[in-house]
Every structure is written in C-alpha cells, then in structure tokens.
Amino acid sequence: MAELIYVMNMSLDGYIEDEHGDFNLYPHDDEVFAAYTELTRPVGTFLYGRRLYETMAPWETNPELGEQSPLTAEFATAWQAASKVVYSTTLTTVSTADTRIAQRFDPTEIQEMKETATGDLTVGGAELAAQAFTAGLVDECQLFVWPWIIGGGKPALQTTTRTALELRDERRFGNGVTLLRYRVMT
C-alpha cells in the first residue's frame, strides 16, 4: 500500500508563509533543491490545493524553469511524471497533463488511492494536510525546517487532531536547513 506523505517547507517557528501570505520566503539552495528532487522521484500522485498547484504548474508549463540547470531539469522531469489532484471549488481548468480537479477532499477516495497506487502520494498545503491528518490518512511528515523566524502567518501544522510522531531520519544541509522525517504513529 502506498503512503500519504506531508511535505512542507517551514520556518523554525513553524510557519509556511508570513502574515502577508508570502511563502516565497527562503533563498534557493542547490543542495536542498537536490533533496526535493530525491523525495519527488518516487511520488505517484501529488494532492494540492489550488494555490500550491498554481505555484507548481510552471514546472510543466514553463520549459524555461527546467532549462535553468541540470538540477532544475531533474526536478521538472520528476514532478511532471506524477499525477496531480487539485482540490478547489473555484478552479475549472488545469494547465498540466495527468491532472484532475476535485471539489472536496474525500477521505474514502484518498484511502482507496493509497490502496491502489503504485507510488506514494504527497499532500501539499497546510489546510489540505490538516484534513488528511484529521482523517488519519497521513503516514509520514517530511519537514524542511529553515533557520528563519517569520513571527506569524500560516502554521505548517494546522490540525486540531492530536498526533504522535516518531523521528525516522534527519538530514542537515550546509545552509542550516534540516529535513526532519517523522512517521505518524497509529
């Protein structure tokens, strides 16, 4: 059975965006970017909210992104290989291949996807992840913790469900970022 993994960048104080809604907070770093690609390769399906989907879609719709370097080309290829499900009540069309729109997050559908998928699923976006946590569907958290204090904004972990986690792995990068991988305890 495939796993559902929550992957997110967050500040040291736990935010994914500042109080103005800006989530382009962190400087580019090749070492961290290569780790994103490594984690993206085995993903079979990305579950996104509209805003995150629109942020990520240029990895397919704008060829110049992949042409910037061998690192960006690898990421673009890995990202494009996966299916996407976009949860939105306002989006009517998508700009990427192998992408569908869902009006609402349906835990039963996600469980069925986990049972039949050939690759893992990731959930991106704090609000969508909160629904997945509440439904008991998240198997792992992969949190890139940046050494920044944002001071407020949207928290990375918005769930109101109490969840025990077990640290599986940690990886430190030269720029001070730490990737923390936690298994969700059942």
Give CA–CA dist 87/132, Å, rounded: 12
Give CA–CA dist 125/180, Å, rounded: 17
- Residue position matching structure tokens 């939105």: 88
Whole-number pLDDT of residue 23: 74
Residue 78 located in a structural domain: yes
Residue 183, amino acid:
R
Residue 137 located in a structural domain: yes
Give CA–CA dist 28/111, Å, rounded: 35
Which CATH number covers residue 55? 3.40.430.10
Residue 56 located in a structural domain: yes
Residue 164 located in a structural domain: no
**36: nearest Cα among 186, 171, 182:** 171
Residue 25 located in a structural domain: no
Residue 72: partners with Cβ closer than 8 Å, 6 or more residues away: 33, 65, 66
Residue 58 located in a structural domain: yes
Domain that holds residue 89: 36-159
Give CA–CA dist 102/114, Å, rounded: 16
* pTM listed for this prediction: 0.94
Cα–Cα distance list, 6 to 65, 103, 174 (Å): 24, 20, 23
Residue 148, amino acid:
W
Q: What is the pLDDT along the chain (186 residues), one digit of tens a residue?
A: 999 999 999 999 999 998 988 877 788 899 999 999 999 999 999 999 999 999 999 999 999 999 999 999 999 999 999 999 999 999 999 999 999 999 999 999 999 999 999 999 999 989 999 999 999 999 999 999 999 999 999 999 987 889 999 999 999 999 999 999 999 998
Residue 80 located in a structural domain: yes
Whole-number pLDDT of residue 179: 98
Is residue 1 a contact partner of residue 121, using CB atoms and an 8 Å limit?
Answer: no
Whole-number pLDDT of residue 139: 98
Residue 101 located in a structural domain: yes
Count structural domains, the chain: 1
